[in-house]
Structure 1
Amino acid sequence: MTDTLTPSRDDFAALLEEQLQGRDFGEGQVVHGRVVGIEKDIVIIDVGLKTEGRISMREFGQGEDAKLPKVGDNVEVYLERVENALGEAVISRDKARREEAWTRLEVVFAEGQPVNGAIVGRVKGGFTVDLGGASAFLPGSQVDIRPVRDVGPLMGKEQPFQILKMDRPRGNIVVSRRAILEEARAEQRTELVGQLQEGEVREGVVKNITDYGAFVDLGGIDGLLHVTDMS
């Protein structure tokens, strides 16, 4: 470090590196911070850089279920830049939540487990699903086993989805509701087949009519009612 009273850019960079040495955070990562102040709708957070960052209160949620921070609370934020032109750290709670969600979903995807989410919007070719902080694409063909004319009743309703594909660098997640329904239907069909007995009477719902008969849903498995057996 130079002894001059006007340090160069290299001197400043060396000083910053010395301050960051041994710390477990850097730009582009989720770091721990502490709320040191709240000014109207702005939350001031110290992330240990001898400088503070500011986040809009909206990033912590809205509505009755929102958990708003208080002075002294520890929070996790995404560090975009150590310092901007105003000498403040550039941080984001939304991006931290997104990173947390991606980490959680990668584990779920690797284990082949379903994940809960809610359909929140319509886009070209399908729908947008909120997976608790990360957005996913639900193709129209993956909404249900059969074509759905009205998706309204499914909007905003938390339900399970199967993750088909994840690409973190591109930020793409593709999910399927149909896969969940098909798995449940297969289990139901296996159970029903084990219960069926020749000669018993069961009620069913006519699903399709053809020239040679009708297909009847017996509660998970389709049976053919031949035209010669109709009255």
Structure 2
Amino acid sequence: VHVSEMSWTKKNVHPGKIVSTSQEVEVMVLEIDQAKRRVSLGLKQTMRNPWEVFAETHPPGTEVEGEVKNITEFGLFVGLPGDIDGMVHLSDLSWDQRGEEAIQEYRKGDVVQAVVQEVDTEKERISLSIKAVGGDKFTEAVGGVKRGSVITVVVTAIEDGGIEVEYEGMKSFIRRSDLSRDRSEQRPDRFSVGDKVDVRVTNVDPKTRRLGLSIKAREIAEEKEAVEQYGSSDSGASLGDILGAALKGDD
């Protein structure tokens, strides 16, 4: 029995760490070479492939608990049932931090919760995600928000280049040029922390976990809607007449 056929999980170890002298073992005949008068046997073949067992009992989306066995520049290796390891890549450690920062918080021996992403039985590889535990906050927060939606945000910071706002716990930044369709009103200092502002969603990016927001786009859309509802550009009505009619309609 060649050492490579002794264990699914213990690679490159001395046979004495797997079996002992005089121990009776059950083996499988792998090959009979009559010319060399040699019989090749396998010990691990009498047991099920632990990656196949894990794949059956832990389909993608299953939450698991394990101990951090090793930490590398690529991520964490976590011990799993069946004496096998799963890997959490740097990109799957945190929604909010860069992987290189997030991995600093872990130590060997830490017990972590993770979600099974993929099990490759042929390559004997299991992909895990720590950030997926508890679901994706971004998706939950912006589930009903689409490009073109108008939402209400709260101003959290005033900067020279624009304002930082928050929606359902998610931070976004509105650039100075998007603060108003009127150039004279594109001043961050006209806002205060805590102000509630209606904005139009210009982009939803799940990868960067950012919402593109614009007050200017909301104002332009509202003006276009008013023109369509109360007059047209060739009807002779001025924008002032149209908006005046819109305001009276609101009253």
TM-score by length of 2: 0.41
Q: Pick the structure with greater CA Rg.
A: 2
